[in-house]
Amino acid sequence: MQTITGNDIQYAAGLLKSGDIVAIPTETVYGLAADALNALAVAKIFEVKKRPAGNPLIVHIADIDRVHDYVANVPDDACKLMDAFCPGPLTILLPRNKRIPDVVTAGSDAVAIRIPGHPLTLDLLKLSGLALAAPSANISGYISPTKAVHVDKMLSGKIKYILDGGPCSKGIESTIVGFTDNMPVVYRAGAVSISDIEQVTGKRVTAPSQEVVTPGSRFKHYSPATPFIVADDIDTEIMKHTGLHIGVITYNIYTELIDRNDQLLLCTLNDMNTASRNLYAAMHDMDERNYDVIIARRFPQAGIGIALNDRLNRASNK
């Protein structure tokens, strides 16, 4: 199968309506999309990504008004969050209605709903009239794609079309929020922070209990093939690995201990949004350079830094 990259939403819509899968851009990461109501099309996503069947998919819709087409009821707090953050990097777990096939939710009664904040994909959703089930467009366990070329690297020959919307502006996956006993629960950190959610709902966010973490968080994630280490003090970590060929991912300043050609600086100043936008591209790039080990500097544990550290920890599988 030949994989074409382009920005033709008519063509993408045609493929999706005929049951094909298409890579789509979002503001967080690229997704691998299928018509959410077509169980056979959705099954192709699991096959191409090599995704475990027990890991459900997020359903992407065009606007808030369409949520009732797929969801049994929407709690007031969910309405408030949608009004505040959608379109945007937020996914909300809501009780599904009967139209959503089991394969999408892995049998759960909750469906994950998101309105992505990317103009090309919003146009595609409107033009096609479809809801699109889409996980990140990587092979399961590997680093999520934030550029069309990342998708091509992993899925070339396996899908017909990559809709190219340029580099993702946020760069890490959406925040996932659900409700237990009417209280908001954050299952995955992202660009929408816990304090954002507390401010809008006026309620304390709780952490999920062990039994109800989202299925996806049980799996190894976001991992380069090269051994990956996260450290607060990268110089100490570099010294522990003398003699090895080391790549460094850092921010603000270079370390003086290794050649600058072996380092990627995610941002200058303390701009963690820029760091977020650049992180996965840096991980893809470093993983192609045949280092013995990649050492990444941990971010300040505040704001979006919390979500970035979560991704670094998962990449190092700690």
Residues lying near ligand TXA in the complex (CB under 6 A) are found at: 26, 28-29, 31, 55-58, 91, 93, 105, 108, 110-112, 114, 116, 134-136, 173-174, 176, 214-217
Q: Which residues pair with 229 in a beta bridge?
A: 295
Q: Can you read off the two tokens belonging to residue 152? A: 């091509």
By beta-carbon proximity to ligand TXA, the closer residue of 207 and 239 is: 207
23, interface contact from ligand TXA, Mg ion, none, CB < 5-8 Å by kind: none
Nearest to 114 by CA among 106, 104, 101: 104
By beta-carbon proximity to ligand TXA, the closer residue of 91 and 309 is: 91
134, interface contact from ligand TXA, Mg ion, none, CB < 5-8 Å by kind: ligand TXA
Rounded least distance, CB 76 to ligand TXA, Å:
20
Residue nearest to ligand TXA (CB): 216
91 near Mg ion (CB under 5 A): no
CA dihedral 150, 88, 300, 138 (to 10 degrees): -20
169, interface contact from ligand TXA, Mg ion, none, CB < 5-8 Å by kind: none
Q: What is the DSSP string of 99-133?
A: TS-HHHHTT-SEEEEE----HHHHHHHHHH---EE
224, interface contact from Mg ion, ligand TXA, none, CB < 5-8 Å by kind: none
Rounded least distance, CB 186 to Mg ion, Å:
17
Asked if 174 and 190 touch (Cβ cutoff 8 Å), the reply is yes
Rounded least distance, CB 296 to ligand TXA, Å:
20
Site of tokens 């660009």: 191
**307/150 Cα distance (integer angstroms):** 21
By beta-carbon proximity to Mg ion, the closer residue of 112 and 248 is: 112
Stretch of 41-49, 68-76, 129-137, 153-161 contacting Mg ion, by CB under 5 A: 129-137
121, interface contact from Mg ion, ligand TXA, none, CB < 5-8 Å by kind: none
By beta-carbon proximity to ligand TXA, the closer residue of 280 and 291 is: 280
**117/86 Cα distance (integer angstroms):** 7
175, interface contact from ligand TXA, Mg ion, none, CB < 5-8 Å by kind: none
Q: Which residues pair with 297 in a beta bridge?
A: 231
**179/77 Cα distance (integer angstroms):** 9
136 near Mg ion (CB under 5 A): yes
263 near Mg ion (CB under 5 A): no
> Which amino acid would we find at residue 98?
K
By beta-carbon proximity to ligand TXA, the closer residue of 55 and 226 is: 55
Rounded least distance, CB 208 to Mg ion, Å:
18
Q: Which residues pair with 132 in a beta bridge?
A: 35, 60
> Which amino acid would we find at residue 253?
I
278 near Mg ion (CB under 5 A): no
**133/32 Cα distance (integer angstroms):** 8
Element (H, E) at 246: strand 246-250
By beta-carbon proximity to ligand TXA, the closer residue of 35 and 173 is: 173
Asked if 145 and 135 touch (Cβ cutoff 8 Å), the reply is no
Give the SS3 label for residue 307: helix
Stretch of 136-144, 157-165, 269-277, 287-295 contacting Mg ion, by CB under 5 A: 136-144
By beta-carbon proximity to Mg ion, the closer residue of 136 and 175 is: 136
What are the DSSP E strand ranges found in 48-182? Answer: 58-60, 90-95, 110-114, 132-133, 161-163, 175-180
By beta-carbon proximity to Mg ion, the closer residue of 136 and 263 is: 136
Rounded least distance, CB 140 to ligand TXA, Å:
9
**Contact set with Mg ion (CB under 5 A):** 136
